[in-house]
Structure 1
């Protein structure tokens, strides 16, 4: 939606300057600063409960719900990820990026799946009609830079397809802004470190919409007494032992790593456009093709092509912030979503680090 709805000319000009800088290549950060950002992302990396559905023609016994990397099969071809899901182990990776202003650090985590699929049961009209190759959902974690080593957790925004949902942990002074806070962000300790509280997210099976854990009754039930995988940040990219593995470590991968997601955004085998992962509806020599699990069936075009967006193209079109702002301009989005003591009268766009827009001072 147009920024001019509620922005002063000064803020609009500042945003234009930020976006214009995106045409430049970021300069390398100092080793210490880069290490600090990576450590901050590691500290606040979420614990993620992935609910698993083992039924349906394209479920692969639950494997279709495992998180992994887009190159899990050893290549940078997004158009064979659906087919290769059954042929390769799905080691757990989560992508991240860090954007900073003097006041806040915005930590974005992306969960990738090779399949967005359906079990063929029409219990959710919007989610069960079609399938598509590749899927990316995630969560923005907002941390106040209070001078401590890891800052103070203030809020989170999760991605459920074309909708964003906002959360605050207990004790946060963030409240509803232009968008109503949807609930409490639970914290969960990690048995592989000192056990400090981390954002606790959950993903639905099939379509992998992300929420704060405990918000959805179905996911509460599955976490308590059903099946699913609990992913913890760690030093090893582990492969789940099955559809009910409650301790799987994932490793973090920087979106801006050399030859990484951002660097390859113009690689046409991986991205159909810079805003869309490449995915097709081709045949599958190893089993059911994309679309076979959708209620419409493959004959009726139930496999959407090039349907998954990378984080810099995520959008909630019903909300004011623009397309991709969750990654590229999070200060604007958070200013809209939340209120807090001392909140400025306009968004603080004085980014000190925003590689999406070439800002690496």
Structure 2
């Protein structure tokens, strides 16, 4: 629950993109943001990626809940830290990701993406005490999205979702490592873990799918397949070494089987579409594994006899099953070393053009919009 009353802590003004419900565009408005509390970090945002999760959440929160500040792929420079923060200092360049408590069974077993407090920390619209770091004319705004709400000039972040990077790293390219690129790459490197002699197919070659494709290539997998109806995305996947399939003109199952000598050993669905997930399962070879990362269909029809008799596995996966403090630096190293060319996926937009970025992403004209201040 969002607390109506706020404490009297000092704050400063900034510009943020406000969501007003499913059917309205984002608007830029002047809002107030708190100074960091003892366990918080104030970050000036340089860039933030536009992720499907932002738009999905916008589509399901009704207008009656009031304006919200989304954004969860922030990158920027630390402006101030609270008294309890000891591993981040003003001036540090940082990438922001999801929050986790660090104390529950999932966190302690190394699976922070499945933190038992994830909803409260990432999607409740407030801090855990019910207060919000962002207000407009003194009225609380739903914010603290993924512990950041980075569709804004500044954010309040925490030690558990802040990763320091080399100042030489281009933040306008690296920002999506906080979620989208991390989700695709992590599903491959942390969950599926293909070997060089594996075969990998991705269904949906948007930013998550292409990041997964690049990660599989970096892992040495030589047989790569990308299934997507958008010609521009298929062309990019081909440049990355993949065989491509247009599901609007080809039988996707047969095409994947043909390209992988009988079926993929590892596949990833990024679409969340029931019929596509079915194709991905069917096109696996015996004992193959499908990871699903897309929000969408709540129910999917699959052939259970095929799954049982062929020993196939379907696994859900969020945030690439990553430990952000170690995995994001690994991805940064792959990028700076030339083995993970995510710069090929990014199109930059002025922050004021956020609605144009939304349109271009939805139409398939761009793969990954990044908003730049």
TM over 0.5: no
TM-score (normalizing by structure 1): 0.27
TM-score (normalizing by structure 2): 0.27
Q: Relative contact order (alpha carbons < 8 A, sep ≥ 6): 1 or 2 greater?
A: 1
Larger Rg: 2
Structure with the bigger percentage of helix: 2
